[in-house]
Structure 1
Amino acid sequence: MLDVNRLRMLVELSRRGTLSAVADALSYSKATVSQQLAALEREVGVPLLRRVGRGVQLTPQGDVLVAEAVGVLDRLEHARVAVAESLAEVTGTVRVAVFQTAAHALLPPALLALQAQHPSLRVDVTECDPETGLVGVAGRDFDLMLAEQYPGHSRPITPDLDRVMLAHDAIALALPPGVPREVDPLAALRSTSDEPWVLEPQGTASRAWAEQLCRSAGFEPDVHFEVADLTTHIRLIRAGLAVGLLPGLVWAGDAPTLDLVPLPGAPRREIFSAARRVSAASPAIRAVRRALADAASPAGSVPAGSLGKPPEVP
């Protein structure tokens, strides 16, 4: 009988591309992963990997085994869900990956509600960017990801992940308090063309969207500060050192401390959760999604009007 842990290593190698990445994801040494995959080859009786330069690639037989192994792993996960559904109490652990502003605004009220409603349920939270987190959900590093996507910049669709929309979060131009501003949104945006900007780092979805927004208004933003932490954005703007773009969630229910100007077209980013389809029916994941939906509602911790009403979570 083939070893399930070795099968998972092979599947992760097909997804992540290198032995080092598999070792990091599964908390093993690279040598251990190599030894276990060699043992799997002996179990199967045919080569599953071939050396290419300093790396490895799957053989055609390795690809066949990966396809079968994915089905095996999904079936085992489905069995765990079936057992959980038979219990009267929601229990177990849900590993949640979350981006920064969702961690600030949505997690505290959601976790407090879960503590009261399902005391036997544990929620482990890791902050990471959506790109990493969504790969991690597919690879079983996490059970649920809170992610965002910007207008016209949809994230890639992964067939084995579902999506549940939580909210639409308004994005505004943020100016230092007391700075004269244009009433017209387009004129207000164009008036910042000579100002220093603070934006998130290159390679992030928010940065790509912000640059495109400015270009559509006829200028290239003069980025003085590349900072991932939006709390730092607020401090730099409040000090009069920069202008920027801020989503409604960043205030986490508090009154904004900056002058916020509507943007042309009133853009809103989408906030959604993603889980593996095979585990989405788990009572624990359903409970976490309900709590997040309640936290994202206008009655929750997010400023009224900045978010749309979340859909019903099945």
Structure 2
Amino acid sequence: MFDLHRLRLLRELKHRGTLAAVAAALSYAPSSISQQLSQLEHEVGVPLLEPVGRRVRLTEQAEILVAHTEAVLERLERAEADIATSLTGLSGTLRIACFQTAALALVPAALGLLRDAHPRLRVHITQLEPESALPALLARDFDLVLAEEYPDHPVPRPAGLDHEVLLDDPLRLALPPHLDGTEPPVPAAPLAALRSLAGQAWVMEPEGSAARHWATTLCRSAGFEPDVRFETPDLLLHLRLVEQRHAAAFLPDLVWSAGRPTVPLRRLPHGRHTRRVLTVVRSGRGRHPAVEACREALRRAADPVPR
């Protein structure tokens, strides 16, 4: 029988990419990881790694082993969930990764609900964009991830992850106001309003993000290439740049969860104006009572959010 610990190291290598990354994540020396994987190769009787430049990659046989390891670990997660369900009261640590607007609009209220209902449950929050959080979820760095899905740009859904819709969050065109605070003369029709800003400076999220891909595609569908002068994942900075008349932006309604809009807003073209917020867990983890309690708290926190 193969050693489960060594199989998990092989799985970690697949998800993290390098021996150094596995060693850093697990607080091992790289030489120890290499030695353990060499012993696994001896157990299996075939090569599991092959050199590619200065790195290594998994062989076909190693990929087969990892697929079976994923199934074993999913079953163990189900066993952990069943044991936790059999106990009275929740305890332990729940690790959550979430993006900025969800962290501001939903997480504080959800934390309050969890604290009141399950005072022995320790919740650890990390602000992290979904592009980084979802691979980390697969690597078992987190138990639950709050992710966002933009129109025509679905979140990757690899095997081993379960997605659940939390809410639909409308997106709107945010306009820089006049010096006196009045609204600029922009057409009311969504596509015409967007097209009228062809010469406007924009603030958008960084290249490579789902939000940037969606925003660029939307501007191109209106017939222009956006003049992106500011790039940041910080939507509060997006808002400040719009308020100070430096740029236009696309802002989700979750930004206004704590109050009324402070800049003029316009609707976006139908079918392109809503992002979806999801909770994502590993397969087998969704039945864990701490995860179920967290998802319920997030649903309750989302109820009063205007949308």
TM-score by length of 1: 0.90
Question: Distance in 1 between the 2:233 and 2:117 partners?
Answer: 34
SS at match of 2:164: strand
Q: CA deviation at 1:91?
A: 2.1
Cα drift, residue 3 of structure 1 = 3.8
Match of 1:284 among 290, 293, 305: 290
Which residue is 1:21 aligned to? 21
Distance (whole Å) between structure 1 residues aligned to residue 283 and residue 63 of structure 2: 22
Q: Name the count of aligned residue pairs.
A: 301
Q: Does the 8 Å contact 2:97/2:133 carry over to 1? A: yes
Percent identity, aligned pairs only, is 51
**2:250 aligned residue:** 245
Separation in 1, partners of 2:61, 2:150: 40
CA contact (8 A) 2:74 2:283 kept: no
- After superposition, residues 175-190 of structure 1 pair within 5 angstroms as 175-177=175-177, 178=182, 179-190=184-195
Per-residue CA deviations over 1:46-85 (Å, capped at 9, x if unaligned) read 4322323222222344233323322332232222111101
**1:106 is the counterpart of 2:114:** no
Question: Which residue of 245, 256, 260 maps to 1:255?
Answer: 260
- Whether 2:237 is the aligned partner of 1:232: answer yes
Deviation track 1:248-291 (CA, whole Å, cap 9, x = no partner) reads: 11223311111111112161000001111211100000000000
The yes-or-no answer on 1:192 pairing with 2:197 is yes
Aligned counterpart, 1:295: 301
Most deviating of 56-65 and 137-146: 56-65
Matched position secondary structure for 1:31: helix
Shift of 1:36: 2.4
- Provide Cα deviations, 1:145-196, integer angstroms capped at 9, x if missing partner: 1000111111122221111101000001101232232222222111111111
**Counterpart position of 1:310:** none
What does residue range 124-163 of structure 1 map to in structure 2 within 5 Å? 124-163=124-163
How far apart, in 2, do the equivalents of 1:111 and 1:290 lie? 11
Distance 2:24 2:234 in 1: 25
1:309 is aligned to none
- Flag the 1:126–1:28 CA change in 2: closer, same or farther, 3 A: farther
Q: Is the 8 A contact 2:15 2:138 kept in 1?
A: no
Cα RMSD for the two superposed structures: 1.8
> Which of 212, 221, 233 is the equivalent residue of 1:207?
212
Cα offset for 1:296? Answer: 1.1
Deviation at 1:43, TM superposition (A): 4.3
> Does the Cα contact within 8 Å between 2:106 and 2:301 map onto a contact in 1?
yes
> How far off is 1:118 after superposition?
0.8
In the alignment, does 2:47 pair up with 1:47?
A: yes
Unaligned runs of 5+ in 2: none
- Tell me how far apart the structure 1 counterparts of residues 59 and 275 of structure 2 sit (CA, whole Å): 42
Code of the aligned partner of 2:287: A
> SS where residue 33 of structure 1 aligns?
helix
User: 1:2 deviation in Å?
Assistant: 4.3
Measure, in 2, the Cα distance between the counterparts of 1:20 and 1:105: 36
Provide structure 1 residue ranges, at least 5 long, that are not aligned to the other structure.
307-314
Partner SS state of residue 37, structure 1: helix
Query: Which amino acid counterpart does residue 301 of structure 2 have in structure 1?
Result: A
Alpha carbons of 1:172 and 1:72: their partners in 2 closer, same or farther (altered >3 Å)?
same
CA distance in 2, matches of 1:258, 1:31: 56
Call closer, same or farther: CA 1:252–1:23 in 2, change over 3 Å: farther
Q: CA deviation at 1:45?
A: 4.8
- Give yes or no for contact 2:97–2:142 (8 Å, CA) kept in 1: yes
Rounded Cα–Cα distance in structure 1 between residues aligned with 2:214 and 2:62: 39
Contact 2:78 2:287 in 1 (8 A): no
The alignment partner of 2:57 has SS state of: strand
Q: Please say if residues 194 and 222 of structure 2, whose CA atoms lie closer than 8 Å, have aligned partners that are also in contact.
A: yes
Structure 1 SS opposite 2:208: coil
**Aligned pairs for 1:38-117 within 5 A:** 38-117=38-117
